[in-house]
Amino acid sequence: MLFNPKVFSQRAFSQKARKKINVGIIGGAGYGGTELIRILIFHPNVNLKFVTSRKYAGLKVSSVNRFLEGLIDLKYIEPDISIFPEPIDLIFFATPHKTSMEMVPRLVREIPEVSIIDLSGDYRLKNPDEYETYYGSKHSSPELLENFVYGIPELNRDKIRRARYIANPGCFATGIIFALYPLLKEGLIKSPVTVVAVTGSSGSGDVPKEVTHHPMRAKNFKAYKILEHQHLPEIKQFIRERCGVDELEMGFIPQSGPFVRGIFTTAVAFNPGLSQEEVLEAVNRHYRGLKFVRVVNGSPEVVMVYGTNYVEVSYRYRDGFIVGMSAIDNLVRGASGQAIQNMNIMFGFEETAGIWFPGMKP
């Protein structure tokens, strides 16, 4: 069983659960960083000590993000290790790709006791060649890759508990892995697997660009990076490690839709001879009892996970086709919420601490 409620609630009352750790955020002005702040300022086990932003260094976090006024007193600082206030227990990277692989080696050297959760893609792939292929630049600290644990909490909890460094999964990867995991783990599906996943505009970050220009985006739907999105290798790597499927052939078509938050994933494979019951049983074996995973009838819905750390999944079998679907909030479960859940596991806090809030209707 992936989740043992008994262990969970015992931990909740342990001393460890009451301690507070000192936390810093590198890259705290984008959507991922802001979402980390929004959650961490209410986290019972966290003292948020610093937040960096090249662009806004010197300005108050709450003047750049006025919806945080009265909730945080920090000013953004430069992302310069030498000025980070110490002691620091954990640093989140919410930076674009390439930043963390440049900074982490020095961090590790100079603050050896610090834990790291990297929301970027820099330390997700064990194979630096894959990184180069998919991210377009040579990895600058490949020697550290093995030290990072892939942080998909419910499905990798044991390793996360013992980890010092976490590579937080990509948003698409999160949605896709949750849709596929029990099916692959139980051997119900095999290659080829087709995955179509659509993301809201917040997935493109906070810098205005063509694809998020409101006059066009609000009326548009389209695909991009067809069959070559950079989240493919991290999914395959995880499936290989955790499901024992060595060479999953997966065609992944990412799409962008005219909404703000959310990723909806549809994963399909063909395997005649199963039944809806078998599929659901397999799913329940893995997902029953998970606090943040809702197995629903019908379809997952983005509106039901809006602004939350929940994952909705549902499964349908008919005429030989197995369909696994998931809905997540790309900024919470697809980034910052999941990162904080990883932190909770690493530090022995209540796993739901700080992220135990429902969505909204509407």
Interface mask toward a copy of itself for 250-279; x: CB under 8 A: -x-x-x-xxxxxx-x-x-x-x---------
- Whether residue 362 has a cis bond before it, omega within 30° of 0: yes
Q: Of 164, 185, 167, 180, nearest to 324 (Cα)?
A: 180
- Grouping H, G, I as helix, E, B as strand and the rest as coil, residue 184 is helix
CA distance 323 to 315: 6
Window 105-144: residues binding a copy of itself (CB under 8 A)? none
Window 311-350: residues binding a copy of itself (CB under 8 A)? 316, 318-321, 323, 325, 327
Window 136-195: residues binding a copy of itself (CB under 8 A)? 191-192, 194
Shortest Å distance, C-beta 36 to a copy of itself: 11
Shortest Å distance, C-beta 227 to a copy of itself: 4
Window 284-303: residues binding a copy of itself (CB under 8 A)? 291, 294, 296, 298-303
CA distance 230 to 253: 11
Catalytic pick among 48, 74, 88, 171 = 171
Residue 216 interacts with a copy of itself (CB under 8 A)?
Answer: yes
Residue type present at position 116: I
Window 29-58: residues binding a copy of itself (CB under 8 A)? 31, 34-35, 38, 41-42
Residue 109 or 209: which CB sits closer to a copy of itself? 209
CA distance 259 to 120: 23
Q: Are 24 and 92 in contact (CB under 8 A)?
A: yes
Window contacting a copy of itself (CB under 8 A); options: 17-25, 63-71, 73-81, 181-189: 63-71
Residue 169 host element (H or E): none
Residue 13 or 42: which CB sits closer to a copy of itself? 42
Report CA torsion sign: 350, 29, 263, 170: negative
Tell me, what DSSP letter sits at residue 202? G
* Identified binder of a copy of itself from the candidate list 4, 220, 275, 284, rule CB under 8 A: 220
Residue 108 or 278: which CB sits closer to a copy of itself? 278
Active site residue 171: yes
Tell me, what DSSP letter sits at residue 22? E
Look up residue 256 and give its two tokens.
């962008």
CA distance 158 to 262: 28
Shortest Å distance, C-beta 233 to a copy of itself: 12
Where in the sequence numbering do the catalytic residues fall? 171
